[in-house]
Structure 1
Amino acid sequence: MAEAMTNVHFSFKDAQGRPKAGTLHVAPVRRHISGSTVVVLGGFDVMLSADGTATVQLEPTDNTFAWKVSEFPDDTDSTFERVVQVPASSDTVEYTDLVDVDASTLAPALNTGAALTYLLASSLQEAQALSAANPGQMVFYPESGVKTVASQILEDLTSARAVVEDQSAVAAQAANAAQAASVGAQAASVQAADAVQAVSEQTAQVSSNAAAVQSVTDSINESKAVVESHANDALTAIDEAVKSVKDKASDATGDDKAETTADTTDAAADGSQEA
């Protein structure tokens, strides 16, 4: 499967700001490896349009090759060369945004083309003012000023180190206190867990005792009911016995009265005969 290409946009103007017409020549620097295949790319020319622009599809580079662009190779007054990396991008990339690399090592070039300039100052104060006014340039000033600044920096670093050491000691003490508190909290947690376990066991024992008491109570209630039932039966039997006795006593009294009456009648009859 072919690798996706990146669109690179070129735009040129002359010194008067008019579109620059002409030809570009684009060629690879070195061949490169794609999987198990050696890819040999050929060079080609690019014609700028009337407005001095062109858009070209280039294969993204890696660390094995780069693209060399010869700008206007037939124009001896305007001939320049760049060796650039081309990133993998789905958007169009400007030619001016490409990173220049060294043609031999393919590593990014340390100088992007701008001339290295610097400013000289007679004192540290002047150097600071020049640096503030020219942030893109290097400023040099006498060595004595450098020594002064270095001494001040060293003193500041020493003070900062002392502060850091003090803060480190305080942090260590706080860490030790936190560790001791953590150990105490863990011990308290274990004790609390043991207390909860003991309460749970006592609760279980109380529940068991309550169940046993309830069982005994139920048994007593059952025995009471049986006793009451038997007592009622006994009272009923006694009442029946007493009634029976009373009935028999009443019958016996009636018989005696009848016999006494009969004896009196017989005696009277005998007396009448004798008379």
Structure 2
Amino acid sequence: MRLSGKTAIVTGGGSGFGAGIVRKFAEEGAKVVVADINADAAETVASEVGGVGRRVDVSDRTSVEEMAREAISTFGRVDILVNNAGTTHLPAPMEEVSEEDFDRVFAVNCKSVYLTARALVPHMKAHGGAILNIASTAGLSPRPRLNWYNASKGWMITATKTMAVELAPAGVRVNALCPVAGETPLLKSFLGEDTPEMRAKFLATIPIGRFSTPADMGNAAAFLCSDEASMITGAALEVDGGRCI
């Protein structure tokens, strides 16, 4: 029960890695707000763990501010914020990715971190806490044809480090996780097409020989957001089976 007495918000918590983090946090004793653009998915996962489900568009300031107000009103405080919601564009030469897709990737992957910081950092400064940004190995070891997604995750890693430096005196730690692709709704987008051949080609680049799982992410997130990691801030932890070696 490493997170007993803690309250957490997990964006994109209705599926994939986010749902894995929600379930692990609840197992460790946290009360969790499951925030997702898909209201039904948020409610379903929240009902599993006795949490609160809420539809949130993380790229919209009003939606994020309402989420923060509701979480603080319901639980009194927010101790942990996980910026997990993310999206990508389909694999393509960088100059062929549409402006609409570029704007969407940066709104969901980058602007959301800014908006949640505006909404929750003043509150967290008052009592300390932990922020966890879900980045990607794409931000550390980028692959061709996912250029703007790679760039957005590199942005998130840099944002994590600068947030950590600025917020450390207030007792707020900020870290990032860098998973390799996993069994999530985005897998098909990363691969271009989800076929046995494409999976085998991708898995050949991962020394451990498998994708990241929601459980892998939940375990790493629970550690970094617990008091056991009280001396860790500004880290970008690779949960990638050796992909970046």
Quick check: TM above 0.5?
no
TM (normalized to structure 1)?
0.18
Larger radius of gyration: 1
TM (normalized to structure 2)?
0.20
